[in-house]
Amino acid sequence: METAFILVVVALTSALALAIARRQPHRRLAAAAGRALEAVGFIALFLLSNVAVGFALALALRATTGSFVSLYVNDDVSLLVLSVLQALVWQSWREPEDPAQPRG
């Protein structure tokens, strides 16, 4: 029941967004979906990198300083949120800037 409810809610808001987006010409849904998939891929890559570096750093700190850092710290949900931010900045940075846009 909860699963169906959530999917219906998301379907409704997606339909609304689609209706709004279609008012703008020359916008392709497939290209937008592709860019979204690319962003998700970057998020996954940043998350994997963060966890791997965190794991190695925790083990290195244990070995070199004698202080104990739990490996479970790499399981913190904030690492996922920060990976999302890293990926979004990375993706925006890689995209060519539109010279017609005013710079703020």
CA dihedral 81, 87, 89, 90 (to 10 degrees): 160
Could you say which residues in the range 36-95 bind another protein, by CB under 8 A?
36-45, 55, 68, 70-72, 75
Of 71 and 85, CB closest to another protein: 71
CB neighbours of residue 61 within 10 Å: 13
Distance CA 57, CA 41 (A): 24
Helix and strand numbers, DSSP H then E, in the chain: 3, 0
Minimum CB–partner distance for residue 2 and another protein (Å): 5
32 forms part of the interface with another protein (CB under 8 A): no
In this complex, which beta carbon is closest to another protein, that of residue 5 or of residue 19? 5
Q: Please give the Cα distance from 17 to 7 (Å, whole number).
A: 15
Q: Which is nearer to another protein, 17 or 22 (CB)?
A: 17
Q: Which residues here bind another protein, judged by CB under 8 A?
A: 1-3, 6-7, 34, 36-45, 55, 68, 70-72, 75
